[in-house]
Amino acid sequence: MEQRRVVITGMGPVTPIGTGTDVFWRALLDGKSGAGPITHFDASEHTTRIACEVTDFNPEDHLERKEAKRMDRFTQFAVVASQMAFLDSGLTITDENADRVGVLIGSGIGGSGTWEDQSRILIERGPGRVSPFFVPMLISDMGAGMVSIMLGAKGPNLAITTACATGTHSIGEAACIIARGDADVMIAGGAEAAITPLSVAGFCSLRALSTRNDEPERASRPFDKDRDGFVMGEGAGIVVLEELESAKKRGAKIYAEVLGFGMSGDAYHITQPAPGGEGAARSMAHALRNSGIKPTDVNYINAHGTSTDANDKLETAAVKKVFGDYAYKIPISSTKSMTGHLLGAGGGVEVIACACAIRDGILPPTINYETPAPECDLDYVPNTPRKADVQVAISNSFGFGGHNATVVIAKYKE
């Protein structure tokens, strides 16, 4: 049986540099940093006191106050981003098609803010004062659950949790669900809201975060010699994936086609990538095979590019392993230099960036790239956007636990 083609017909980013596709994309091309001092809590005793917070988001602008109070912030992000993407797609869910519309939205951490708030209530006021909504607000699948409920999508409904690979795994698997015929439409991506006292403290203890507290806008600097860790971000990146004939039948606009998906496991370490980036390389190679394209067909890579020492040099090594000499001809950028690292939401936001690059023929830059690192010697589109004919783009995401995911998207052709 021939696999069905899958296209992107709607997009909804909620990010530290803007909410909505047009605002988000303009900010990327302007090289805008979303980093600043943490305002969600008093971070004065943390070694890292900066993050990329979503500052233009009021849940009550989009949700009834009662509904919003019963959702963790990550679920609010998931619901609002999904509403935007669904509206953008022009879809309508009816009794006839509801069971052919599914949701696959993951979160790397889930309701960490709810966990911390309710833990304080338990300790200070006792078990009887813990909210009856604690469990449904906490669990990582509630983004997908609430989107399904609010939109009336009765098809496949699930959540994936693979740390920082979550958003990419979610979009890749959702595309597979459509390709094999189990749904015609999937609302897919990731959501995260983990800029909380305990989560930030944990990453500080891992020494994974940048401590460039006096220069937050310059702190996220993927592939740069002076990088010193990632900057935490929050938000959501959701796309509407649709079977091609369904999209054509209703005259939908098509941003791009999902050509393929690859994934792998490092089987190496809980936080460190495998030596030589071999796990990341296998993920990319599998995605290319699954897409039926050659390495030289790729025009752009949106890198995982976290701004940590190990990730950036090993992802660079992985690209060289897969693409050989052609690696030096592929433009690569890390939009995390501007958004920060949205953890489980990162992959969703970055697929949207790839789709915009394909649509407009412009590559977003890697900002703060000032001093080349010896082990990072590829073309990272430094500091300014670049015009390019992008026919095929890949987006990489790698997560703690050795989870690797790669999505290949392309300009739609009949």
Give CA angle at 237 (382, 107), nearest 5°: 115
What is d(CA 266, CA 305) in angstroms, rounded to the nearest whole number? 17
Helices and strands (DSSP H and E) totals, the chain: 13, 15
DSSP code of 341?
Answer: B
Residues catalogued as catalytic = 164, 304, 341
Determine the 3-state secondary structure of 21 from DSSP. helix
Tokens of 239: 């796309």
Give yes or no for a contact between 46 and 293, defined as CB atoms under 8 angstroms apart. no
CA dihedral 386, 390, 392, 394 (to 10 degrees): 20
- Beta bridge partners of residue 406, listed in sequence order: 262, 396
Query: Between the CA of residue 322 and those of 278, 279, 294, 401, what are the distances in Å?
Result: 9, 11, 10, 22
Q: Beta strands of 349-391 (E only): which ranges?
A: 362-363, 386-387
The total number of residues shown for the chain amounts to 414
Give yes or no for a contact between 225 and 382, defined as CB atoms under 8 angstroms apart. no
- Beta bridge partners of residue 407, listed in sequence order: 261, 395
Strand 101-106, strand 185-192: pairing: parallel
What is d(CA 173, CA 221) in angstroms, rounded to the nearest whole number? 30
CA dihedral over 263, 264, 269, 272, signed as positive or negative: negative
- Beta bridge partners of residue 10, listed in sequence order: 240
DSSP string, 71-135: S-HHHHHHHHHHHHHHHHHT----TTTGGGEEEEEE-SS-SHHHHHHHHHHHHHH-GGGS-TTHH
DSSP code of 5?
Answer: P
Tokens of 127: 């078990």
